[in-house]
Structure 1
Amino acid sequence: MNPAPTTIGKIETFIVPPRWLFVRVEAADGAVGWGEASLEGHGEAVEGAFEAIRDRCLGEDPDRIEDHWQVCYRGGFYRGGAVLMSALSGLDQALWDLKGRRYGLPAWQMLGGKVRDRIRAYAWIGGDRPHEIADAAQGRRQQGFSAVKMNATAELDWIGTPRLFDAVIKRVEAAQAAGMDVGLDFHGRVHRPMAKQLAKVLEPLGLLFIEEPLLSENPEGLQQISELVSTPIALGERLYSRWDFKPFFEKGAVDIIQPDLSHAGGLSECRRIAAMAEAFDVAVAPHCPLGPLALGACLQLAATAPNVAIQEMSLGIHYNTDGHDLLTYCRDKSVLTPQDGFLPIPVGAGLGIEIDEELVRSFDKDRHRWRNPVWRLADGSFAEW
């Protein structure tokens, strides 16, 4: 039976550790939905963007998710970008969660039903300067993972010699020796003169993918690297809409896209991005070094998009400190606990994640001010983090 019509009565935001921003939408009939608008290092800016969202959405029908998406995306004249799209992402997730809870359905059921029951997951090992990789990889293997991702390198200058790559190769080999498939994240730290060399020397190692060998603001260079090596090229965490992804599909510059469901327009837009990728025979591996709501949204996408190949998760990642980890705010921690290297598709209503609201409100009182570090090269100039 359909519930009676209602309106959006309240939109709240919470800045909670380690570096997340949660969104709570409450309907006039008392129904509640949660989303995640985390934009690492820019939580205050995203929270400010919600002022305009409240002006446009309060008092409106929460079931009209696509209409809210269009109004919030197009209605403010200026559109796109990390801040506005992260805010919209959190709203979109929360509206799917709210609608699912009002109708008693998982979001994937409202999006057409499941194409799979579980999705392969990978976890991070090491930090920005990875060490003891073999032990870390073995630890992930004992947790049931068969795949990991690690940073390729710390800061690199614009030019150098191939001997700088030896340590990268040894770390990858150490992780593979522990029985893991490895994805390597360049993190946009490597500039074009060295990225080509590094991608080439890594090719024989048989990586799952190379992530952000160059920043996505350089599609021509990315296309060149994709034509230079057979290793799959992955990117997308700094792209925020289907229009941002469009030129990479057209140029054939990417093999795996990594939209972040808390940056790229939420579940609604990332489902469209995944469909575009499918038309170009491109795989999807959603970016998610974030919290439980972002991961819950990712699993709804994995349930419905056939080309989702693997899912990142932040369990035990080096950003999660002082007792705040992926499952901290979850009432039912089993929903996001990997099983034999896979994450099950949640069967609960909405995003399928039960949030401990009391805990969220408690930690919001002492708001984090997380910032990424600023690195410098030996000559004192700025280095990409």
Structure 2
Amino acid sequence: MNQFSIQSQNIYANYYYKNMKIVDLKSYIIKNTWKKWVFIEIITDNGENGYGEATVYSGQFSVVNHIKDIKKFIVNKDPFKVRELVNEWFTSSFNRNRDIVNMSLISGVESACFDLIGKHFGSTIYNLFGGPVRNKIKVYANGWYTNINNIEDWGKEARKVINKGYRALKFDPFGSGSGFLEYDEFKKSMEIIQIVHGVVGDKIEMLIEGHGRFNRSTAMKIGRELEKYPNIGWFEEPVIPEDIEGMAMLSKSLKIPIAAGERLITSYDFTQLFKLNSVSIAQPDLINTGGIIELLKIGAMAEANNISMAPHQAEGPLNTFTTLNIDALMNNLKIQEMFDEFAYPAWITDIVDTVPEVKNGYVELPEKPGIGVNLKDKINNYIADENDTDFNLFSEGWEKRGFK
């Protein structure tokens, strides 16, 4: 073999599959201001690694402790055989798709495997799956209302959003409401919506977040008020997420779209949602659903039912980049949720090497191999403990999400 052949073989060695095994699984619980993040790192016997995210609201330490129970499904397994690894793990877990802790950890490990594969081949995730159908992702702003001190501030903060170029913004104007709204609560909520609309006008989409707060009658009353605005993109989780039939009733009765799905687990939970025509927009969260492959399944199911996709993403930066990779692949994508610019701490660049850049309401596709982002060594300066609590969605002032 001549010298040129030897050099060529060395150059391209990493672009071929070679047997490797996962030898270690690391976890990092990060003390983010409003919701602690869980990052997963897999390490192989040849030193290659991959990152994923497994954040569960108020369940972060449960996720990390669960590693002790399921390590046998990960260690000594080939990270390239992702479907085999996940299927064995999923079918061997007695509760299957009803255990959010288990499913979120599956999602984190599965994403980490794909991150490793992408890095190994020098490819983004979306190119591993056949290439993108779009070169940029439309995003909407969320978490932008953490500085609200009085009702007039809603307009001031909304103006900051549109000045940044966003063409859509989401907000929950209902305070700590649950079930019913008292007259004064209802009146204030409608006033907030009116104030925001007065600033953004008819051309900027207002996405109204219900957070599963209401019973059917209250949701219907709110929905009738929302019909007065021409720029309502959707009414999200108007009733508790288990009330699939209630959402179907609202979808049939209201002129505005209904959106839901962030708290559903795996594609099985979406079957009835789609069968009953309960939503116009599906919002699965990659972490809750079971990972990249499962999110693509749900996207295909939605497309077959002529339903749009708007994946939920209210966790950390790793899940942002992983989800953007999947957004690139879905024909029926409507828009992507984006918290990063408004509700992430200032030290975010201490722990990750890339942050998404929003221009005129769009984000360019990730370009780095794998999911497109890596953890930095300073992450160890931000490890959380049990004293770092999460915000409570039903408490007064929750919308500040821990920000002062």
Q: Tell me the TM-score normalised to structure 2 length.
A: 0.86
After superposition, residues 291-370 of structure 1 pair within 5 angstroms as 291-318=316-343, 320-321=344-345, 323-325=346-348, 327-333=349-355, 336-356=356-376, 358-364=377-383, 369-370=388-389
Aligned to 1:100: 118
Q: Is 2:63 aligned against 1:38? A: no
Give the partner amino acid of 2:340: L
Q: Is 2:213 aligned against 1:193? A: no
Aligned to 1:27: 44
1:6 aligned residue (15, 20, 45): 20
Q: Would you say the 8 A contact 2:140–2:338 is kept in 1? A: yes
Give the partner amino acid of 1:120: K
Q: Is 2:194 aligned against 1:173? A: yes
Q: Distance in 2 between matches of 1:205 and 1:162?
A: 21
Q: Would you say the 8 A contact 1:82–1:238 is kept in 2? A: no
After superposition, residues 1-385 of structure 1 pair within 5 angstroms as 1-18=15-32, 19-80=36-97, 81-124=99-142, 125-127=144-146, 131=151, 132-156=153-177, 158-159=179-180, 164-179=185-200, 180-206=204-230, 207-318=232-343, 320-321=344-345, 323-325=346-348, 327-333=349-355, 336-356=356-376, 358-364=377-383, 369-373=388-392, 375=394
- Gaps in structure 1 of 5+ consecutive residues: 378-385
Query: Helix, strand or coil: the match of 1:204?
Result: coil
Q: Distance in 2 between matches of 1:226 and 1:276?
A: 19
Q: Would you say the 8 A contact 2:51–2:374 is kept in 1? A: no
Q: Distance in 1 between matches of 2:332 and 2:307?
A: 7
Q: Distance in 1 between matches of 2:165 and 2:105?
A: 34
Q: Distance in 1 between matches of 2:318 and 2:175?
A: 30
Query: Helix, strand or coil: the match of 1:109?
Result: helix
Superposed CA deviations along residues 184-223 of structure 1, whole A, max 9, x for unmatched, are 1010112223111111111121311111001111111111
Q: Distance in 2 between matches of 1:331 and 1:24?
A: 15
Q: CA deviation at 1:93?
A: 0.9
Q: Distance in 1 between matches of 2:147 and 2:180?
A: 20
Q: Would you say the 8 A contact 1:25–1:94 is kept in 2? A: yes
The answer to which of 263-272 and 69-78 deviates more is 69-78
Query: Helix, strand or coil: the match of 2:176?
Result: coil
Give the partner amino acid of 2:353: R
Q: Tell me the TM-score normalised to structure 1 length.
A: 0.91
Superposed CA deviations along residues 27-84 of structure 1, whole A, max 9, x for unmatched, are 1111110001011211011112222332111111110111111112111222123211
Q: CA deviation at 1:151?
A: 0.4
- Rg (Cα) greater in structure: 2
Q: Would you say the 8 A contact 1:128–1:154 is kept in 2? A: no
Query: Helix, strand or coil: the match of 1:154?
Result: coil
Q: Would you say the 8 A contact 1:97–1:351 is kept in 2? A: yes
Q: Would you say the 8 A contact 1:7–1:28 is kept in 2? A: yes
Q: Would you say the 8 A contact 1:9–1:28 is kept in 2? A: yes
Q: Would you say the 8 A contact 2:22–2:78 is kept in 1? A: yes
Query: Helix, strand or coil: the match of 1:134?
Result: helix
Aligned residues: 371
Q: Would you say the 8 A contact 2:264–2:289 is kept in 1? A: yes
Aligned to 1:381: none
Q: CA deviation at 1:310?
A: 0.6
Query: Helix, strand or coil: the match of 1:138?
Result: helix
Paired-residue identity, %? 25
The answer to which of 254-263 and 70-79 deviates more is 70-79
Give the partner amino acid of 1:5: N
Q: Distance in 2 between matches of 1:258 and 1:330?
A: 26
Q: Would you say the 8 A contact 1:15–1:368 is kept in 2? A: no
Q: Distance in 2 between matches of 1:148 and 1:374?
A: 19
- Gaps in structure 2 of 5+ consecutive residues: 1-14, 397-404
C-alpha distance 27-240 of structure 1, shift in aligned 2 (>3 A): same
Q: Distance in 2 between matches of 1:122 and 1:204?
A: 22
Q: CA deviation at 1:176?
A: 2.7
Query: Helix, strand or coil: the match of 2:228?
Result: helix
Q: Distance in 1 between matches of 2:332 and 2:391?
A: 32
Superposed CA deviations along residues 355-382 of structure 1, whole A, max 9, x for unmatched, are 21x12223226576333327479xxxxx
C-alpha distance 365-133 of structure 1, shift in aligned 2 (>3 A): closer
